[in-house]
Copies of this chain bind each other. A is one copy, B any other.
Amino acid sequence: MLHPGSGRRGSPIFGVWLTNGDIDHVAGLLSLREQQDFTIFATRGILDELASNAIFSALAHDVVVRRAIPDNAEIATGYGLNVTSFAVPGKVPLYREGAQVLTDEIGDMTSGLALRHAGRTALYIPGCARMTPEIKARITKADVLLFDGTTFVDDEMLQLGLSNKTAARMGHLAMSGPGGTMAALADVTGPRKIFIHINNTNPALIADSPERRAVEAAGWEIAHDGMEIDL
């Protein structure tokens, strides 16, 4: 979210929306200036997680506003963009996992965002452990979908000997397979469908791979650095 910067250290950042509390989503906050004013929008659960961690107090409370956003409540930014956060199946951050982990819980630890501008809607869902009828209905009505493309197959990390975790264990739907995202959304042809949040083990990242061709044949795009999307 951008707003006009001003002054010697003006910043165009108006707000940061967090969709979960894992390191790849929150560590970037530590690279922002300690005296830079912006608003963090997140669920109560994620804000509590940040509040419980002293290192995030470097985002001074008298400068950086924390705003808890209820599920499914549209927030008007005042910049022509309205943002709605909605719960999706997921899990607590890795660094909060206990002995037992619910990997597809619908609560306040994992969300998607609906970004609405001039009557058009883009959905940003970087992590989603399971497709639900509610999420599918939302996707069907959207114009652009940016969706969790972490792995191509569920046991990708195990096959490569890099981890003992499946995509499901990490709170992600795989792209392929009978239970995967491409199958789940095969009959959803309205929105432009783009995979994001792609792990570097995912062979669909390779331009001429069979997996890339399968993704494209299913009507999906693979996001890339510097990609610009007109809504």
Mark A residues whose CB is within 8 Å of B.
8-9, 23, 26-27, 30-31, 34-35, 52-58, 94-96, 160-163
- B54 with A54: CB separation less than 8 A: no
Sorted from nearest, which 7 A-B pairs have the closest CB atoms?
A27-B30, A58-B95, A57-B95, A54-B95, A23-B30, A55-B95, A23-B58
Query: Measured between C-beta atoms, what is the minimum distance from A52 to chain B in Å?
Result: 8
- Give Cα A54–Cα B53 distance, bound, in whole angstroms: 8
- Give Cα A163–Cα B161 distance, bound, in whole angstroms: 49
Point out the residue from B8, B26, B96 that lies within 8 Å of A162, measured CB to CB: B8
Query: Measured between C-beta atoms, what is the minimum distance from A46 to chain B in Å?
Result: 13
Residues of B within 8 A of A161 (CB): 8
Query: Measured between C-beta atoms, what is the minimum distance from A155 to chain B in Å?
Result: 16
- A162 with B35: CB separation less than 8 A: yes
- Give Cα A57–Cα B160 distance, bound, in whole angstroms: 24
- In the complex, the chain B residue whose C-beta lies closest to that of A55 is B95
